[in-house]
A = this chain, B = another copy of it.
Amino acid sequence: MSDRTAHPRKAARAAHGADRTYRPATSLADRAGMRQVADRAGVAMSSVSRVLSGHPDVSATMRDRVMTAVEELGYEPNMLAQMLRRGATQTVGFVVGDISNPLLAQIALGAEVALRAAGYAMLLTNSVNEAHLDATHIRLLQQRRVDGLLLSVSDETNTETADALARTTTPSVLIDRDFATDAQASAVLSDHAAGITAAVERLVQHGHERIALVAGSPHVRPTRERIHALEEAVEAHRGVFAHVRSGAFTETHGSAATRELLDGRRPPTAIIAGGNQILVGVLAELASRKVRIPRDISLITCDDVPLAKFFTPPLAMIIRDPYEMGSVAARLLLDRLGGGDPETVTLPTTFVTGASCAAPRP
């Protein structure tokens, strides 16, 4: 063994001696570079590069010679070198609160599929709903020189995050988020107001007068939009009142808020759960009190959950198409990467009624 432990490649060559011809490059360890291809074809590296990048200034002869050498050596270009040289990584970063949330997972899927089709790969980071990690991850991804960012941060009000965003020149797409400071980013939004409004209309038709919203974190757009829409919808109807309990997108908050609401002086006759974790908490609290749906209280949930339609009773919900959101986010980002201007797209939400939403007890 040679003493130059840091250069295994050379060591290997030295060890095997020069009596060996090249090996079919099945072994990644001893990969052929463009240098080797050029040597074998008896041409310059620049010519190899031109052939492989489809540059017009290449003769048929040259193309054949190079391609033959490429085949023989099983040459594959080193993307790292290309990235360094070209200054583009064909990589996009996705900053997400928590990928284990099915909603976000579907968004991620939609985005990844679309990005991959365009030759981009997706780096995923989870902020596990800790606001301070958002900015950290944005910086981390920028250090990795991502060409663009998909952002579903966990707290819009965090100044560090807002700063990181305002400072950056990396093309970004916000996913259902809204930063006052940043006019540079594109955004895909959901029209939460429409869903809430439709749901409230239905509840009012049923005769509900006290409607509660157990919402998630007030630091993200969906929660704000829902609260705002609820209050507005309620104002349109004389004698109908809204109770809002925002907090976090957790089961704990869901059950705690429900407890408070039911223990209040004038408990609501209908609850809208603002997220799937919250829904679990709401259901847990209702179950523990033997409050029956929809006899004792009506329930509507935001965003689909797999078993909702087989639930007893089937759950009314305000749904949207998260896969589509991901696709659109990817498209917006690709547009920007192609030189387009920032753009905002709003996708619809739909109220799907179900037996969990009925008339209150008289």
A169 and B26 CA atoms in complex are apart in Å by 10
Q: Is the CB of A112 within 8 A of B84?
A: no
Q: Which residue of B lies closest to A121 (CB)?
A: B123
Q: Which residues of B contact A169 (CB under 8 A)?
A: 27-29
A43 at the B interface (CB under 8 A): no
Interface size on A, residues (CB 8 A): 71
- Determine if B112 and A126 form an interchain contact, defined as CB atoms under 8 angstroms apart: yes
A87 touches B143 (CB 8 A): no
Is A2 within 8 A of B112, CB to CB? no
Q: Are A308 and B310 in contact (CB under 8 A)?
A: no
Check B145–A124 contact: CB distance below 8 A: no
A13 contacts the other chain (Cβ, under 8 Å)? no
**A80 part of interface (Cβ distance < 8 Å):** yes
Check A89/B80 contact, CB under 8 A, given A122-B123, A283-B307, A310-B283: yes
Please name all residues of chain B whose beta carbon is closer than 8 Å to the beta carbon of A240 when the two chains form the complex: none
Q: Which residues of B contact A98 (CB under 8 A)?
A: 109
- The yes or no answer to A88 lying at the interface (CB within 8 A) is yes
Q: List residues of chain B with CB within 8 A of the CB of A87.
A: 24-28
Mark A110-154 against chain B: 1 for CB-CB distance below 8 A, else 0: 001100100001111110100000000000111111000000000
Give the residues from 156 to 206 in chain A that come closer than 8 angstroms, CB to CB, to chain B: 167-170
Q: Which A30-59 residues sit within 8 Å CB-CB of chain B?
A: 55-56
Contact B113 A310 (CB under 8 A): no
A72 part of interface (Cβ distance < 8 Å):
no
- How many angstroms from the CA of A24 to the CA of B213 in the assembled complex? 47
Q: Is the CB of A276 within 8 A of B124?
A: no
- A108–B124 CB distance below 8 A: yes
Known: A116-B125, A121-B141. 8 other contacts (CB 8 A): A28-B142, A100-B102, A100-B105, A102-B102, A112-B124, A122-B124, A287-B310, A307-B308
A to B CB contacts below 8 Å, 20 in the list:
A2-B338, A2-B339, A7-B55, A24-B85, A24-B86, A76-B143, A79-B143, A91-B144, A99-B105, A99-B109, A99-B112, A100-B102, A100-B105, A100-B106, A113-B126, A123-B123, A124-B124, A287-B310, A305-B306, A306-B307
